[in-house]
Amino acid sequence: MSFIKSGLSPALASLLIGAFILMPGAAFGEIDRVLVDKSQRKMFLYKENEVVRQYTIALGGLPKGHKEQEGDQKTPEGVYILDYINENSAFHRSMHINYPNDADRQSAVERGVDPGGMIMVHGQRNGAGMFSGLMQLFDWTDGCIALSNSEMDEFLSLVPVGTAIEIRW
């Protein structure tokens, strides 16, 4: 069927197709799982077991191993939930990871330490977005997962609150 027969001009059809292609996630809908491979410094967004986006990430200063306590500069390992968006953070947008879970809290109690918290997927520190190309080359967070600002905007447009995030070494 041609665009003319459908009553849609070629110019309008091109505009609509272009808008569809440029809309993040339009081709595949919402993400249903996020995987973070700390050893590769990569984040993968999945829709129905297919990787649809991949990002290079920055982590905490001592990323190997599971987060055990406040201030250890580790990113937790395990399966968590992305449970809310924080638009008023010290970083360009963020989404909270529900660390610590019950097992993390119990482990911290047994060791007599504070498990820490406020682990986020976030963009660059406010006002430092112009340096994201450089900042993404090394681990600089306190245990969070950092993206560039434009990647963080895309991430929030694709990943709904309530999505599972698996973090592993």
Q: Is 122 considered catalytic here? A: yes
96 is catalytic: no
**Up-side HSE of residue 8: CA atoms within 13 Å toward CB?**
11
CA distances from 94 to 112, 118, 119, 142 (A): 30, 10, 10, 14
Q: How far is CA 102 from the centre of its chain?
A: 22
Q: State the DSSP string of 8-65.
A: --HHHHHHHHHHHHHSTTTTT-S--EEEEETTTTEEEEEETTEEEEEEE-B-BSS-SS
66, 92, 96, 144: which is the annotated catalytic residue? 144
Instruction: Say how far apart CA 57 and CA 26 lie, in whole Å.
Output: 24
3-state SS assignment for residue 128: coil
* Distance between CA atoms of residues 142 and 140, nearest Å: 7
- Catalytic residue ranges: 122, 144
